[in-house]
């Protein structure tokens, strides 16, 4: 490489350095909102060994009476995305539930007439998962005229999740 | 001062065969196609997500990027698909290649912004985004050693490696040193499950030891940024093993990030023209370079093909 080329290209390593420093700053001070220079915080939450591990699922009842597990692709979301917008120990706002049923029914037949967001809770002791998980309904939506069994979700509605600013 | 300047220049402008970048470019664009049309199909499903779940990240807000719908998402997939195929097989000089790679970079960035604007960000994608923009700036045309190619690959390597110590920092920032003794691995296994993971879940002490080793290695991985040497090679092997462990236990492959480790390899050996040139040289075979190898610079910056 000619010395003149090095002089001409001096901004390139500076660009790389600025990018690296911005990524480091993102990790130290910023949040997911700053993606792609956000903190690398996947698996950064170290839950206590004696705690509850939750995961969320969507279940539904079709107008034929058949009960189904609603796949995530069917509602256009990933599990972590629904969880990220819904505190797992609180109820899912009704308007968000209606949206899940709406997008499912737009692309599937027969229609859903009843939809529930269910949290599976696994107790941990000393970091070891215990048997017999429990299930809690945190959201219950039904179409007009639905006369099946419903779950009264009376958990207090928490403040909205702070989203990417958390 | 001169020593620092020389080190700075030799670190960022180490001449590397342009053929290495050409092969690297094809690998990356193949992975773009594979992720968009295979492993990341959940992104396309966002076109059908309830709009009230759309929470654009800052860049998407600044760009005024609206929520995807089936039409715009399909259009984007076509743009990525066609431009990535052209980037792999298309002929063309430096300007044409840069333009094509630029289209891939911008369209893939849009894809990623739509992917992560629903309240879940997969941070590993920074590496491939940077890589695609590097490929737009340095498309790897021409032949022989090229210092600009060296800059491009070094930039990819730096971003790739930084992901590990910065992941460790994110863990300490959010959870403190207690992260090491937490049940984070057990939680991941319970939520994602796998045969090996389920077995490990019953061995909490082993998992905690694994967490200590994991975060220690993440900090140590910065040694992979050395220019050469056995420590660098050991760190790169360790990174591969780390991802293998993650994939086997919780099924996460981080493919778009992990594939960028190929930027450390002497990929030019896969390039027919480089092999032909090598066979024609009198000292055939002695100038190949790989991870940790240092050779004299031969040739200069080649003109665009």
Nearest to A36 among B50, B129, B173 (CB): B129
Contact A57, A118 (CB under 8 A): yes
Nearest to A126 among B42, B169, B204 (CB): B204
Nearest to A33 among B57, B151, B155 (CB): B57
Nearest to A16 among B51, B158, B186 (CB): B158
Nearest to A95 among B52, B116, B190 (CB): B52
Phi/psi class of residue B52: alpha, beta or left (left: φ > 0; alpha: ψ in -120 to 50)? alpha
pLDDT at A49: 81
pLDDT at A90: 66
Nearest residue on chain B to A57, alpha-carbon basis: B191
Cα separation, A78 vs A83, in Å, equals 9
Stretch 67-126 of chain A: residues touching chain B, C-beta under 8 Å: 72-73, 75-78, 80-82, 84-85, 95-96, 99-100, 102-103, 106-107, 122, 124, 126
Q: Which residues of B touch A160 (CB under 8 A)?
A: none
Stretch 116-155 of chain A: residues touching chain B, C-beta under 8 Å: 122, 124, 126-129
Do B147 and A5 lie within an 8 Å CB cutoff? yes
What is the DSSP secondary-structure string of B45-72? HGGGS-GGG----HHHHHHT-PPP-HHH
Dihedral sign computed on CA atoms, order B54, B60, B66, B67? negative
Cα separation, B142 vs B20, in Å, equals 11
pLDDT at B285: 44
Q: Which residues of B touch A37 (CB under 8 A)?
A: 126
Asked whether the ipTM of the predicted complex exceeds the cut of 0.90, the reply is no
- Rounded to whole angstroms, what are the CA distances from A56 to A37, A84, A92, A113, A117? 28, 11, 11, 20, 7
Q: H-type helices in chain A, by residue range? A: 3-8, 11-29, 72-75, 79-84, 94-107
Cα separation, B122 vs B43, in Å, equals 12
Q: What is the mean pLDDT of chain A?
A: 84
Q: For residue A110, say if its preceding peptide bond is cis, omega within 30 degrees of 0.
A: yes
- For the stretch A69-109, pLDDT in tens is 999 999 999 998 998 887 655 677 777 899 999 999 999 99
CA nearest to B303, candidates B95, B136, B100:
B95
- CB contact B186 to A (< 8 Å): yes
- CB contact B253 to A (< 8 Å): no
Contact B271, B19 (CB under 8 A): yes
Do B147 and A76 lie within an 8 Å CB cutoff? no
Per-residue pLDDT tens, chain B, 305 aa: give them.
678 888 888 899 999 999 999 999 999 999 999 999 999 999 999 999 999 999 999 999 999 999 999 999 999 999 999 999 999 997 778 899 999 999 999 999 999 999 999 999 988 899 999 999 999 999 988 888 999 999 999 999 999 999 999 999 999 988 889 888 888 888 888 777 677 777 777 788 888 898 999 999 999 999 999 988 899 999 999 999 999 988 888 788 899 999 999 999 999 999 888 888 877 776 544 444 445 444 333 333 333 33
Do B15 and A44 lie within an 8 Å CB cutoff? no
pLDDT at A4: 62
Stretch 128-157 of chain B: residues touching chain A, C-beta under 8 Å: 129-130, 147-148, 151, 154-155
């Amino acid at each position: 490489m000619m010395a003149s080329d090095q002089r001409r290209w001096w901004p390139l390593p500076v660009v790389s350095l600025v990018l690296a420093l911005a990524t480091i700053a993102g990790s130290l001070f910023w949040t997911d909102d700053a993606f792609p220079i956000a903190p690398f915080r996947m698996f950064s939450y170290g839950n206590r060994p004696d705690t509850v591990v939750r995961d969320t699922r969507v279940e539904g009842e079709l107008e034929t009476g058949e009960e189904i597990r609603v796949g995530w692709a069917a509602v256009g979301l990933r599990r972590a995305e629904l969880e990220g917008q819904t505190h797992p120990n609180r109820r899912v706002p009704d308007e968000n539930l209606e949206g899940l049923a709406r997008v499912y029914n737009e692309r599937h037949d027969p229609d859903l007439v009843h939809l529930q967001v269910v949290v599976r809770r696994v107790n941990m002791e000393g970091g070891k998962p215990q048997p017999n998980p429990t299930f809690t309904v945190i959201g219950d939506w039904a179409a007009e005229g639905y006369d099946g069994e419903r779950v009264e979700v009376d958990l207090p509605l928490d403040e909205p999740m702070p989203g990417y600013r958390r | 001062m001169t020593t620092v300047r020389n080190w700075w220049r030799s670190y960022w402008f180490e001449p590397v065969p342009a053929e290495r970048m050409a092969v690297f470019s094809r690998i990356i664009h193949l992975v773009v196609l594979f992720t968009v049309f295979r492993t990341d199909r959940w992104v396309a499903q966002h076109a059908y997500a309830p709009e009230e779940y759309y929470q654009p990240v800052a860049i998407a807000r600044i760009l005024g990027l609206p929520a995807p719908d089936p039409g715009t998402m399909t259009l984007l997939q076509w743009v990525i698909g066609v431009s990535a195929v052209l980037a792999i097989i298309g002929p063309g000089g430096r300007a044409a290649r840069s333009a094509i790679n630029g289209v891939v970079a911008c369209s893939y960035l849009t894809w990623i912004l739509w992917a992560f604007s629903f309240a879940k960000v997969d941070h590993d994608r920074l590496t491939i985004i940077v890589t695609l923009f590097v490929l737009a700036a340095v498309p790897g045309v021409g032949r022989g050693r090229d210092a600009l190619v060296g800059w491009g690959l070094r930039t990819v390597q730096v971003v790739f490696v930084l992901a590990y110590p910065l992941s460790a920092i994110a863990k300490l920032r959010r959870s403190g040193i207690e992260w090491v003794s937490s049940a984070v691995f057990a939680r991941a296994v319970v939520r994602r499950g796998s045969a090996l993971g389920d077995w490990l879940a019953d061995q909490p002490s082993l998992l905690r030891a694994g967490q200590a080793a994991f975060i220690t290695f993440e900090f140590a991985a910065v040694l992979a940024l050395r220019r050469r040497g056995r420590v660098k090679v050991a760190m790169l092997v360790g990174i591969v093993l780390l991802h293998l462990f993650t994939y086997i236990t919780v099924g996460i492959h981080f493919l778009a990030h992990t594939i960028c480790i190929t930027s450390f390899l002497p990929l030019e050996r896969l390039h027919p023209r480089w092999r032909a040139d090598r066979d024609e040289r009198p000292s055939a075979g002695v100038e190949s370079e790989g991870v940790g190898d240092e050779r004299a610079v031969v040739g200069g910056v080649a003109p665009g093909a």
